[in-house]
Structure 1
Amino acid sequence: MNKITLPIILLFLLILQSCTSNKNILYLQDLDEYSNSTIIYATTKIQPNDILKIDISDINPIVAAPFNINTGSSVQNSVEMMKLSGYLVNPQGNIMMPVLNEVNIGGLTPSDVEKKIKNILIKEGYLVNPTVQARVINNKFTVIGEVKTPGVIPFTEESISLIDALAKAGDLTYEGVRTDVKLIREEDGKRLVYHVDLTTANWMSNPTYRIRQNDVIMVTPNNQKVKNTGILKDPIQTLGVLATLLTLYYLIRTR
């Protein structure tokens, strides 16, 4: 092997290693193509096992008091205690409220819940012009697989982006497959499975862009991690070691 051929081979290996790494690792590689695209905001629908905090107020606090769960100041300062004293949605989509008893809110948005309860209060003659505030207080999603910190992660917003969710989990590991992240979602009594390619930006206009309550994100390991059990677990690492060995050989031969 002459002095010209070996450097060319080394250069080729380094370029190949770099290209392969960028193709599989970089996020949103065509992001500029989707500049000024329309943003889609998701609205959460109430599901079984959701816990709601519902506050009913009126100009006269005394007449509104019977329609609220009696909570002290200590409960107000603890999210966990708020969950214990909140309205749990049963499998039929119902909650039990003071005075109003069973109210069906399954499949409604929090805004719809506010309107429905307000209409009931007015229609039944309980209150004249009440103010109703409803909010889901046990929002959470689950991340499993090849991320740095998998687990069940709570959030306070109505919905967050998939990018935010993965960042909360510490981002994908090097071995995570970025071209096929699975998003499992329960909606209208059905389980939906979406496949997201994080190396492109076209999914940002799809329903998968916003994470919702109870979503599950699954990041699968790449083939090299699954199949290989040796010291060198992927071809990128192998190319790097090979380039290093050839460089050492070249240096020794040219001394």
Structure 2
Amino acid sequence: MRHLSFHNILAAFIVLLAMASCSTPKNVVYFQDMTNEHSYSGYQQTITIKPADKLSILVHSRDQQLVDLFNLPYTPRTLGATTTLNRGTNQGISSYTVSPEGSIDFPLLGEIKVEGMTRLEIAGLIKGMLISKDYVRDPVVTVELTNGIVSVLGEVAHPGSYSIDRDDMTILDALGLAGDLTIYGRREDVKLIRSNGDKQETYIISLLDAQSLRNSPAYFIQQDDVIYVDPNNTRIRQSTINGNTLLTPSFWISLASLATTITALCIR
């Protein structure tokens, strides 16, 4: 009877450990504060131009020969033995590099200060200058940021660098491009590192709280942002040689199995 009681306790112990290992952590589900009765608002921002940014600026008009004076040439990019030229993308378009002083040298218009401006503001400024100087009567100016990227690292499905395809791109968009967090990513303290001049700013945000996320300056990303997702404790434990430490359920289950075997041998 004493041996039977021991086996019952041991079996119950193993079952509890197995249940604990299969349970769903509470910090997995996103936006746990979100309900149908609430609306969320916060920072509204758009990408502004910084030194070293590269800008594609195109001027269009009915008189194409005239506006060609203001457009940089298309430059074919060579990839190995293949030369490509695609006017539907930025691949073959020459760009203006913003100087350390925050300006570009535009044909006929000269130095134009663009630092701190949005793409639409720059387009409006150039359009106004072309009309005021009577260079082009009906210009349509488009401005694109050609080197805007965000890097997503850590516990995501596809770490890497991704192009910023619009001015109001959010951290959720960036994580989506990277295939979302893995089950081992810590959702409560995602880090965003942002360069601001000669210093770096670090924001720690939680994907569990929609309101605090929406209120964070890191909600809308900027060019050259780096997003890093920390591994949770399970992933950290798996990084050991065999993944078995005193904290893992597999270790205790293995130990309990060994004890059961030894007990059975002793009874015989």
TM range (shorter): 0.7 to 0.9
Aligned AA (1:216): V
Structure-to-structure mapping, 1:40-189, within 5 angstroms = 41-71=44-74, 74-77=85-88, 79-82=90-93, 85-187=94-196
Could you tell me which residue of structure 2 aligns to residue 30 of structure 1?
33
Displacement of 1:44 after TM fit? 0.7
* Alignment partner of 1:209 out of 203, 213, 219: 219
The answer on whether the counterparts of 2:58 and 2:141 sit within 8 Å (CA) in structure 1 is yes
The TM-score normalised by the length of structure 2 is 0.75
RMSD after superposition: 3.5
Query: What is the aligned length?
Result: 249
Structure with the higher helix share, 1 or 2: 1
The one-letter amino acid of 1:25's match is V
Instruction: Determine if contact 2:33/2:210 at 8 Å carries over to the other structure.
Output: yes
Where does structure 1 lack aligned partners over 5 or more consecutive residues?
none
- Is the partner of 1:63 in helix, strand or coil? helix
Deviation at 1:135, TM superposition (A): 1.6
CA contact (8 A) 2:237 2:245 kept: no
Asked whether the 8 Å contact 2:157–2:181 carries over to 1, the reply is: yes
Q: Distance in 2 between matches of 1:234 and 1:36?
A: 45
Report percent identity of matched pairs: 31
Moved more, 32-41 or 133-142: 32-41
Selected match of 1:13 from 6, 12, 17:
17
Alignment match of 2:229 (pick from 200, 219, 234): 219
1:191 match: secondary structure: strand
Distance 1:143 1:249 in 2: 46
Question: Partner letter of residue 79 of structure 1?
Answer: N
1:198 positional shift: 2.3
1:159 and 1:187, CA in 2 relative to 1: closer, same or farther beyond 3 A?
Answer: farther
In the TM superposition, structure 1's runs of 4+ consecutive aligned residues that sit over 6 Å from their partners are 247-253
| Alignment-derived partner of residue 79 in structure 2 | none
Unaligned runs of 5+ in 2: 77-84
What is the one-letter code of the residue matched to 1:43?
T
Q: What is the TM-score when the length of structure 1 is the normalising length?
A: 0.78
Residue 171 of structure 1 deviates from its aligned partner by: 3.2
